[in-house]
Copies of this chain bind each other. A is one copy, B any other.
Amino acid sequence: MVRRTREAAATTREQLLDAAERVFRDRGVTRTSLAEVAAEAGVTRGAVYWHFRDKADLFAAMCRRATSPMDTLAERASGVRTDSPIATLRALCVDALAHLTRDPRTQAVFEIMFHRSELAGELAGIAERHDRDCRQARARVESVIARAVAAGELPRDTHTALAVEALYAYLTGLMHGWTLDPTSFDLRACAPALVDTFVAGLVANPPRVPRAAPAPPRRDGWRLAARPVAHPASRQARVTVGGSAAA
């Protein structure tokens, strides 16, 4: 084959991404050569180098194609206006987990991202970009949590940034473990119950912002003299959450 039509070229590109998903999952990203990806797609390395600059570019394109539906989920959830933001949050989490269990492409790429790739060297730049996407998604979820606080579904002193970090870690951990071994537990069936357990924890006892921050400093500091204050600055820094401070 030589010069093919525009649509045929687009098809070739998709087939290369499909092939990358299969080969990366089977052999790991770093271990697989572009020749293997090309062979799996039924073309030669020339086609790969035509559509993608190098392996990192191919990897990034593969990740984008698979993760965009998840990002859309968070985007929509942060947009809806409802009287129960907690219900929105719950639905978002359940939908995200359900989507993973239903879409084999998402499964493959998440398995690759979690267990079959190293965020170093060539992929370091990709990791930074992906990190920004994750921060954006977390910011969107935090807005939902903030609305839950405003609606009285969560306590006023809820540390929204930390709560997002916790929720994000929980979902990440579930996906991490399940992609490693989908037979370890039935994620599709258990997703609602798993999410409900965590949401119950958020409602019952969420992480709180430190008392000292909102109130004006008292002259007669509460139990201030009871313990030695070695490093007040570092102690203050300990309870801050990097980047997005709670409003």
Interface residues of A (CB under 8 A from B): 26-31, 115-121, 131, 159, 161-163, 165-166, 168-174, 176-177, 180-181, 183-186, 188-190, 193-194, 196-208, 237-243
A119: which of B116, B169, B190 is its contact (CB, 8 Å)?
B116
Q: Are A177 and B186 interface neighbours, CB within 8 A?
A: no
A184 vs B240: C-alpha distance when bound (angstroms) = 9
- What residue of chain B has the Cβ atom nearest to residue A189's Cβ? B238
Give the CA-CA distance A20 to B119 in the complex, in Å. Answer: 17
Q: A185-B165, A197-B202, A202-B197 are in contact. Are A115 and B116 (CB under 8 A)?
A: no
Q: How many copies does the complex hold?
A: 2
| Whole-angstrom CA separation of A171 from B174 in the bound complex | 10
Quick one: given A116-B118, A181-B131, are A176 and B165 in contact (CB under 8 Å)? no
Which residues in B have their C-beta under 8 angstroms from that of A205?
196-197, 200
Q: Which of A28, A121, A159, A197 has the most CB of B within 10 A?
A: A197
**Distance to closest chain B CB from A222 (angstroms):** 17
